[in-house]
Each structure stands twice: as structure tokens, then as C-alpha cells.
Chain A
């Protein structure tokens, strides 16, 4: 999966779930300060992404450190690279 495909999949999933404007989906956008999400949304975001990428995310400790969209793109990109190695 390319970086562009990851960005597209993440943005589409989050825009749909949280009714966000595509124009707000800037890589530096902070989930809480810029996109207006809260702790409940953070849990639901993991569920939505697990369904979008068909992989488990919540068992990974690093998920809790993700603060921006760019953090999320990086994290999923690393996951897909790791999965490809296996």
C-alpha cells in the first residue's frame, strides 16, 4: 500500500465517521485541538481504522502516542511495511 493510498483511506474513513470536512485533513492537524475529537472518538477511530485496513491496531501501545494525522499516516505505513516483511 502506497503512502498516498494510506492517506486516502484514512481521510475517507475519518471524514465519514466524524463528519469532518476534507479540507480540514491537513497532515499537521491535531486530532483533539484541530479536528475536535475527544477520548471517545479516539477509541472509535481505532475501530474505524481497523475496519478500513482490516488489521488489529488497538493492541499496539504506540497507538496512544498518535496525536496528528501525519503521526497516523506514519504509523500505518510502518505497520504495512512490517506486515510486508513477514
Chain B
């Protein structure tokens, strides 16, 4: 495979950190996915609403301890910032740092700010109890709350970008960080996405008939991308963060390299605000290939965005077939953990990096019967011993943002 970066600098991944429904720790993702474990559970709070069609969610264990984060920083953090702080700490440590090196940029966003904090704030406003609202609430409801909180907690003085593009947020932030490093504007970055679950999130998708509703009695079957019986997404939460830097920087300090980012493509769907079209996804993946100076033949597999919605999975399948044909392996990891929203791009990328290093790739969980609308591509149906040298990861968003990132094994 040729050296492919259209810019001057090569960009490598030297650290990863994650908080997911499996718990805190990036290793938990691939481990649990390869064992076929679903993190989706019945949600009694959803079931208490008669009009709510979906009664399932996938949430981070509520016994995680964040007390090691000093109170001075923790006081203004909602759950999404706590997750992000834990993921950043792990990513830094994996990269060989105790503290954030000088000049590191931070690219971090969420779909929306803390819904739980907003709901509580709104409740007090309606009850005319504003005098009981603490000062730190505002720092939990700002659009760039996780960015601000993480920067404060880790003393990150470099550039900070709180890109927020709904469910594409995590991958957009990685792609942006990659481009900044590749072009020489910065040398190191922490990048990813974070989100916290609230029942209103499920309600948003239920209103659009896009929340999983037929498997309320069998939650672990509820998230089923590409399957004939899929009926919508399972909302989830978490945070995935990468530490990335120029290859030059990584080699200079003899850092372990988990993968190399080769290219990034992004575009905007304007045919529909709710789901991407085959044409737009096709163009997006082609943009990533062009950015990487690669052809479709250079890619071994596609880690799909596929969320389990009727329209989205079908459109993505057709686009993958159009660009890559029928011989490239395809999986979606949302069958295991649901849709972690802003974190999905980064968490799934971290899982894929781990699986690539293990030469063992998880299938799409609950893909029992491939929907004819999603046929024509090579779905991974069982855990597979595969040596993947390069893969393309997709992330798409409500509102029209599409993005694709290409990563290869560093050797």
C-alpha cells in the first residue's frame, strides 16, 4: 500500500480511552463484543410512559467511581463530562503521559448538552425555585460543556474545538484533529465524542418511529443492524477518546502506535434532515478514499454506522456495495452496545483498533436474517479470524452530517 497522506504529516493513534456500557476501560469493548455480549437492558422508566414505544436502553454502569476527579473540576461536570474525563485519562496513560503535553489540542463534543441538568433546571424554573439552582448548572448545559470541563480538569491550554454534529460528532472530531495534524497546524490532539443517556433521547427517536420497539421483552435482541426484523435504534451512552499525533512525534518518543489515520471524508445530506441517501454516503466514502489517495481495493473491511433503522441501514448497504462491491467484510457494532450517539464513532473505532490488533473481528450482533434491502455486501455473521490491514469507519448524523475515516494497521 502506498504512503497516502495528501498533506505533509502522517498521523498515528498512540492512545485510546473509553467509558462504555461495558464499563470504564477501552479493552472492555473488543473483549465483550468478541464474546457476543449485549449491553442492552430493559428500562423501567421508559416503560412507565404508556405512549413510549421503546422500553430498552444501553447505559454505563452506575457504580463507576469518579471521585478521583478533584471536586473543583467535578462540580461542573454532568455525566458526559465525567465519562470524557475518565476516557481522556486512560487515553493519556496509554499514550505514555501522566499529564497533557504542551500544545495538545482538544476536539470533543456531544449531541446536546446534559438533558438531565436541563430538565432539572427547567423544573425549578417552572416552580419558581431559581434561588435553589447552583452556579455550576450553567457549565453543564453549555453546548461545549465536555470540552470546557475536560480542558479545565487536565489543564489543556492548546486549541479547543467543540464540534457537535449529532451522532457523527465523535468521528468528526477525530477527522478534524487528523486534518489539523496532517496539515502541520498542531502536533498532538485528544479527540472524540461523549454523551449521556436520558429517556428523552429515546423519546426523540420514538417520535420518529425510529426507536427499537419490538423486542422490549428481549432487550438483548433489540439492536439488530441490517436484520430483517430491525425496528430502530437503542439509545446508549459513553465516551471514546483518542490521543493522536504526528508520526514524527510518536517515533521521537518511541510511543506504541495502535494505527495510522490515512484519510477523512465528510459531506452533508440535503435530501433529508433525518436520514442519509445512498448517493450522499457513496460520495462521502469516495471522499475519504480520495483524501487517503487510496482505491476501494486497498480497504479490507467497512465498520458501518448502521444503527438498526429501516432506511439508514439499507441506504448504507447500497452505498457500500456501490463503492466496494460485495467482497469486503462489513460489520456494525451497534448490535452489541446500541447507539452511543456522539461517542459512537470514537468508541466503535477504538473497538475496531483492538480487534484489528487481535486479528479477530466481531460480527454484527443479532443479524439473524439479512434484510434483502441490506444484501449485496459481505456481512460478518460470526466472530472471524481476519487480518485487517485497513478499514473504513462510517458515522452519519441526524441533520445530514456524514463522515468516513480510513485507518490502517501501522507496521
B-binding residues in A (CB < 8 A): 18-19, 36, 38, 40, 43-44, 47, 50-51, 58
In the complex, given contacts A47-B132, A50-B131, what are 9 additional A-B residue pairs having Cβ atoms less than 8 angstroms apart? A18-B71, A38-B72, A40-B135, A40-B136, A43-B134, A44-B136, A47-B131, A47-B134, A50-B132
- Chain A proximity mask over B118-131: 1 for CB below 8 Å, otherwise 0: 00000000000001
Q: Which residue of B lies closest to A18 (CB)?
A: B71
Return A19 CB to nearest CB of chain B, in Å: 5
Instruction: List the 3 shortest-distance A-B pairs measured between CB atoms, nearest first.
Output: A40-B135, A44-B134, A19-B71
Could you count the A-B residue pairs with CB atoms below 8 Å apart for me: how many are there?
20
On whether the beta carbons of A36 and B135 are closer than 8 Å, the reply is: no
Q: Which residue of B lies closest to A50 (CB)?
A: B131
Tally of B interface residues using CB under 8 Å: 9
Complex Cα–Cα for A36 and B70 (A): 12
Residues of chain B within 8 A (CB-CB) of A36 are: 72
* Contact pick for B132, options A18, A19, A38, A51, CB 8 Å: A51
Return A33 CB to nearest CB of chain B, in Å: 15
On whether the beta carbons of B71 and A43 are closer than 8 Å, the reply is: no
A-binding residues in B (CB < 8 A): 71-72, 75, 131-136
Interface of B is mostly: helix
Name 17 interchain pairs, CB-CB below 8 A, sorted by A: A18-B71, A19-B71, A38-B72, A40-B75, A40-B136, A43-B134, A43-B135, A44-B134, A44-B135, A44-B136, A47-B131, A47-B132, A47-B134, A50-B131, A50-B132, A51-B132, A58-B131
Complex Cα–Cα for A19 and B75 (A): 11
Residues of chain A within 8 A (CB-CB) of B75 are: 40
Residues of chain A within 8 A (CB-CB) of B131 are: 47, 50, 58
Complex Cα–Cα for A50 and B131 (A): 9
Q: Which residue of B lies closest to A59 (CB)?
A: B131
Complex Cα–Cα for A40 and B132 (A): 14
Return B77 CB to nearest CB of chain A, in Å: 13
Complex Cα–Cα for A18 and B72 (A): 9
Complex Cα–Cα for A58 and B133 (A): 13
Complex Cα–Cα for A47 and B75 (A): 15
Residues of chain A within 8 A (CB-CB) of B136 are: 40, 44
Q: Which residue of B lies closest to A58 (CB)?
A: B131
Return B193 CB to nearest CB of chain A, in Å: 27
Q: Which residue of A lies closest to B74 (CB)?
A: A19
Return A36 CB to nearest CB of chain B, in Å: 7
Complex Cα–Cα for A49 and B71 (A): 19
